[in-house]
């Protein structure tokens, strides 16, 4: 063996990816395998056995050419995805995916039963969360006594160990786990009629869960005896992969939607319940929210266009128009407005102008997100990293830096699988120490002060229109304007 490495596994919606990361932060092996889903209206399922097969294939591919000594492994999975198993870990149901909303009617019961707890924790359960899905399964699926809830992640770590393992508190959040007191709120489950024996044991991310069994080693290629630690959800894993590890730092993932997550020393409490916080193994918190805006609007509006060519043309023109850039109706962060829909302020003139107005709109929504986080008392002035598909565009990165008037960095190899390799190395110890010695190149973008006034005006026009339509609360509109005037 020429090196030591840690495995990070990202179980996504469309594929499973595994990477081997060495002590310098370099990816020395990688592999992926596809996943398929069954969708029908509000139903979205995957077969749990397919998760295991894809994980094994991805791990075998990652280790096929990597001459490394594997020191540990951690995995993330989609947040809110669950399956019911028997006591041995054998699936009794299909996997209900993160965006399966068959529990929409059950949300009311969940909100009522845990009203005081949800208020204390500062978030609002939604139909896609695991707890409403669990209640739906209890009311509609036929399974006998002895059924146990498994999140996608702990279902898979159980297969790696050879017996069921504890769940990590990150994946358990949307099942109603109390992160303040670090226990299941048994009274809430009793009020819902869910027996306590259905719930798995829960530990903090990074906690040792067991080691890879001999049979799992033969199937996956991961050496028998390799330590396995509790992981985190995919969004948290992406944050770690970006290098966002210290209090006050933030990561903005610009994909189909725009997702912001940061690190704070104290829990951030949001009266609207749109910002909720995961917890790191070191005790810090990860507040975050997901907007309905993002790069998905470009695919919807320019499905066959050369976006690089449009960006190059847009860079040569100052576009005054700005578009509020959501694909479908409804906004969820930084404000809640089910009736919100796309609109354009000003004359976009042509395709180039409209394209540029969409990019500006996403950047302005990102700025509004930070204004809302600042209003909640979050420290927002630390390092900001940009990741996701949108971060591949240098033009867009510079625009976002100019709009925010802050330096941004775009790290290489910033993905969820890398984040899990970092967690596997850290365990329950320091994440910053775990990346000591990492050499991670990044692109840096500095804001142009010459663009500040121009974007302040455009931002003010969007804020005024959102408020006039009744979507943006007065308190946030006023705070955003005050920050612009500082």
Let me know if residue 257 belongs to a domain. yes
Statement to judge: residues 335 and 399 lie in one domain:
yes
Query: Based on the domain organization, do 87 and 25 belong to the same domain?
Result: yes
Q: Is residue 425 part of a domain?
A: no
Whether 23 has a pLDDT exceeding 90, the answer reads yes
90 C-beta neighbours (distance < 10 Å), count:
8
Which of the four pLDDT bands, split at 50, 70 and 90, describes residue 84? Answer: very high
Number of Cβ atoms within 10 Å of the Cβ of 454: 14
388 confidence band (pLDDT: 50, 70, 90): confident
CA 244 vs CA 18, 73, 411, 415: distances in Å: 21, 20, 10, 12
**pLDDT at residue 216 tops 70:** yes
Q: What is the mean pLDDT of residues 90-105?
A: 94
Chain CA centroid to CA 98, Å:
11
Kindly list the strands in the beta sheet with 384-387, ordered across the sheet, starting from the edge strand earlier in the chain: 276-279, 285-291, 258-262, 250-254, 384-387, 408-411, 442-445
What is the pLDDT, as a whole number, of residue 1?
A: 44
- Last residue of a domain, which of 182, 205, 234? 234
Cα dihedral across residues 25, 52, 12, 182: positive or negative: negative
Averaged pLDDT, 167-184: 96
121 confidence band (pLDDT: 50, 70, 90): confident
The model's pTM is 0.86
Predicted local distance difference test score (pLDDT) of residue 469 = 98
**pLDDT tens track for 348-362:** 989 999 999 999 999
pLDDT at 306: 95
239 inside domain:
no
With a cut of 50, say whether residue 73 has pLDDT above it: yes
Here the tokens at position 120 are: 């204390």
pLDDT of residue 188: 97
At residue 67, does pLDDT exceed 90?
no
Label residue 470 by pLDDT band (50, 70, 90): very high
**Overall number of domains in the chain:** 2
> Of 214, 234, 254, at which residue does a domain stop?
234
> 141-157 burial by CB neighbour count: b if 16+ within 10 A, else e?
eeeeeebbbbbbbbbbb
The pLDDT of residue 5: 96
Burial 238-255 (b: 16+ CB within 10 A, else e): bbbbbbbbeeebbbbbbe
Least confident stretch, 42-51, 136-145, 180-189, 388-397? 136-145
Cβ–Cβ under 8 Å, residues 479 and 374: yes
User: Quick one: pLDDT at residue 281?
Assistant: 86
Q: How confident is the model at residue 2 (pLDDT cuts 50, 70, 90)?
A: low
Nearest C-alpha neighbor of 177 from the set 103, 279, 76: 279
CA distances from 181 to 121, 199, 329 (A): 10, 16, 37
Between residues 269 and 90, which one has the greater pLDDT? 90
**42 and 84 in one domain?**
yes
**Residue 437, domain member (yes or no):** no
The residue among 203, 234, 265 that closes a domain is: 234
162 plus 137 within the same structural domain: yes
Whether residue 145 sits in one domain with residue 284: no
422 within a domain of the structure (yes/no) = no
CA distances from 99 to 10, 13, 387 (A): 17, 10, 22
Q: Are 186 and 300 members of one domain?
A: no
Flag whether 428 is in a domain.
no
- Please state the rounded mean pLDDT for residues 36-59: 96
Residue that is written with structure tokens 């060519």 in the block: 309
Looking at the structure, tell me whether residues 17 and 46 fall in a common domain. yes
In terms of domains, do 309 and 369 share one? yes
Mean pLDDT of 281-294: 90
Domain of 163? Answer: 4-234
Taking the CA of residue 3 as centre, how many other CA atoms within 13 Å lie in the half-sphere pointing to its CB?
18
| Whether residue 205 is found in the same domain as residue 335 | no
CATH number of the domain bearing residue 199: 3.30.420.40
* pLDDT for residue 365 is more than 60: yes
% of the chain with per-residue pLDDT over 90: 80
Tokens of 65: 């050419």
Kindly tell me if the per-residue pLDDT of 282 is higher than 90: no
């Amino acid at each position: 063996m020429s090196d030591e490495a840690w495995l990070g596994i990202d179980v996504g919606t469309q594929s499973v990816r595994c990477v081997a990361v060495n002590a310098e932060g370099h990816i020395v092996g990688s592999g992926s395998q596809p996943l398929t889903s069954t969708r029908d209206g509000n139903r979205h399922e995957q077969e749990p056995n397919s998760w295991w097969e894809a994980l094994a294939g991805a791990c075998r591919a990652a280790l096929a050419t990597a001459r490394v000594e594997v020191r540990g492994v951690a995995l993330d999975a989609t947040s809110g995805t669950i399956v019911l198993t028997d006591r041995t870990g054998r699936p009794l149901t299909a996997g209900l995916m993160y965006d399966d909303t068959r529990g929409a009617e059950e949300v009311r019961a969940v909100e009522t039963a845990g009203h005081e707890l949800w208020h204390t924790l500062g978030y609002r359960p939604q139909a896609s969360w695991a707890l409403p899905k669990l209640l739906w399964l209890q009311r509609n699926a036929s399974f006998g006594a002895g059924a146990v809830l498994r999140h996608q992640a702990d279902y898979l770590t159980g297969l790696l160990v050879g017996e069921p393992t504890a769940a990590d508190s990150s994946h358990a959040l949307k099942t109603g786990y109390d992160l303040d007191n670090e226990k299941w709120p048994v009274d809430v489950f009793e009020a819902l009629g869910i027996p306590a024996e259905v719930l798995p044991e829960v530990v903090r991310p990074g906690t040792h869960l067991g080691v890879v069994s001999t049979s799992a080693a033969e199937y996956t290629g991961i050496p028998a005896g390799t330590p396995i630690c509790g992981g985190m959800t995919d969004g948290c894993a992406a944050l770690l992969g970006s290098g966002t590890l210290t209090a006050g730092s933030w990561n903005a993932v610009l994909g189909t939607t725009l997702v912001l997550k940061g690190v704070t020393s104290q829990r951030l409490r949001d009266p609207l319940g749109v910002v909720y916080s995961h917890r790191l193994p070191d005790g810090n918190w990860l507040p975050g929210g997901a907007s309905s805006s993002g790069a998905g609007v470009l695919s919807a509006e320019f499905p066959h266009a050369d976006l690089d060519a449009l960006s190059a043309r847009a860079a040569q023109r100052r576009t005054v128009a700005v578009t509020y850039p959501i694909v479908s109706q409804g906004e969820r962060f930084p404000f809640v407005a089910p009736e919100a829909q796309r609109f354009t302020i000003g004359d976009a003139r042509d395709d180039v102008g409209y394209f540029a107005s969409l990019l500006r709109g996403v950047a302005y929504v990102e700025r509004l997100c930070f204004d809302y986080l600042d209003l909640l008392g979050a420290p927002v002035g630390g390092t900001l990293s940009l990741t996701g598909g949108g971060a591949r565009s240098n033009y867009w990165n510079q625009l976002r830096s100019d709009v925010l008037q802050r330096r941004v960095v775009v790290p290489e190899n910033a993905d969820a699988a890398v984040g899990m390799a970092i967690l596997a190395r850290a365990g329950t110890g320091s994440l910053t120490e775990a990346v000591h010695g990492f050499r991670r190149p990044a692109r840096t973008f500095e804001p142009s002060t010459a663009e500040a006034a121009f974007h302040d005006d455009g931002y003010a026009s969007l804020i005024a229109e959102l408020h006039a339509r009744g979507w943006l609360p007065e308190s946030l509109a006023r705070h955003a304007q005050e920050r612009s005037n500082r």
